[in-house]
Amino acid sequence: MRIVILISGRGSNMKNLVEAYYDDESPAEVIKIISNNPDAEGLEIANQYHIPAVIIDHTKFDSRFDFEEALHAEIIKDKPDYICLAGFMRILSPLFVQKWPKQIINIHPSLLPAYPGLDTHKRVLEAGEIVTGCTVHFVDEGVDTGEIIIQKQVPILPKDTEETLADRVLTNEHLLYPHALRIIKQEFIFRNITIRPNE
């Protein structure tokens, strides 16, 4: 199973998926990293692991449509099985999402459908929640609304700040994303078995 990862920043989930490939259970081969941000720290990590990295800077395009056309053209070159979003900070339009039905996967730092969107940890703490978590889901036309693949609960401690909570959730994200890809890989293998009843 081959994946392209889209990032915008730090790239810790990306690094983790790259490293998971070298583990015994190797869920997916990372064939390319694409960043919309030329300054993303994750680009340096891609370099260290000798993974082809491409910058498609959204600010250089006149419209979201043009940016997404360029993004699609770059991704299709490698014919990946899945596109994994890992801290990719652009909302993908329905037009783009429809080109990759059930092939775009995202990780989100809350127990969806609760707390979609940005600033999740701040909102979770303000609401006085005692548990939060992270979710890996397919991307559909909405924001963080796609079919959930797997979730993991994370406790909130009384003295938590946004930073301590974000760290604890991130540690769990690093467990969850490779696990989600292992689940998807099982389905992927099954889907690609050709059944020839007459043989």
Q: Which residues are catalytic?
A: 108
Q: Are 72 and 93 in contact (CB under 8 A)?
A: no
Query: Strands, DSSP E only, in 68-159?
Result: 82-85, 104-108, 131-138, 148-155
Please count the CA atoms within 13 angstroms of the CA of 126 that sit on its side-chain side: 6
Please state the closest distance from residue 86 (CB atom) to ligand GRF, in A.
5
Q: Could you give the string, one character per residue 63-102, with x where binding to ligand GRF holds by CB under 6 A and - elsewhere?
A: -----------------------xx---------------
Whichever of 148 and 170 has its CB closer to ligand GRF, that residue is 170
Question: 10 Å Cβ neighbour count for 9?
Answer: 18
Binding of ligand GRF by 173 (CB under 6 A): yes
Among 1, 5, 6, 11, the residue binding ligand GRF under the rule CB under 6 A is 11
Cis bond leading into 113, ω under 30°?
A: yes
Please state the closest distance from residue 5 (CB atom) to ligand GRF, in A.
9
Whichever of 4 and 107 has its CB closer to ligand GRF, that residue is 107
C-alpha to C-alpha distance for 30 and 147, rounded to whole angstroms: 23
The residues near 119 (Cβ < 8 Å, ≥ 6 apart) are none
Q: Which run of H or E residues covers position 34?
A: strand 29-35
Helix (H, G, I), strand (E, B) or coil at 174: helix
C-alpha to C-alpha distance for 25 and 8, rounded to whole angstroms: 27
The residue number with the shortest CB distance to ligand GRF is 87
Considering only 30-38, 62-70, 104-112, 191-199, which stretch makes contact with ligand GRF by CB under 6 A? 104-112
Please state the closest distance from residue 199 (CB atom) to ligand GRF, in A.
45
Binding to ligand GRF, residues 107-166 (CB under 6 A): 107-109
Whichever of 9 and 146 has its CB closer to ligand GRF, that residue is 9
Under the rule (CB under 6 A), what is the footprint of ligand GRF?
9-14, 86-87, 107-109, 170, 173
